Amino acid sequence: MPAQFAVFGHPIAHSLSPRIHQAFARQFGIALEYRTIDAAPAEFVAAVRAFFAAGGVGANVTLPHKGAAFALADERSAAATRAGSANVLTRLPDGRLAAHNTDGDGLVRDLTERHRADLRGHDALMLGAGGAARGVAWSLLEAGVQTLTIVNRTPETADALADAIGEPARVHTRYWDDLATLGSYDLIINATSAGVLGGGLQLPPSLVGARALCYDLAYGNAAIGFLAWAKAAGARYAWDGLGMLVETAADAFALWHGRRPDTETVYQALRAAG
Q: Known catalytic residues? A: 66
- In 10 A of CB 33, how many CB atoms? 16
Q: How far apart are CA 162 and CA 150, in angstroms?
A: 8
Query: Are the C-beta atoms of 161 and 184 separated by less than 8 Å?
Result: no
Of residues 176, 82, 160, 85, the one with CA closest to residue 127 = 176
Q: How far apart are CA 230 and CA 52, in angstroms?
A: 41
Name the β-bridge partners of 149.
125, 172
Phi, psi of 254 (to 5 degrees): -65, -35
Phi, psi of 208 (to 5 degrees): -90, 115
Helix axes 264-273, 242-257, angle to 10 degrees: 140
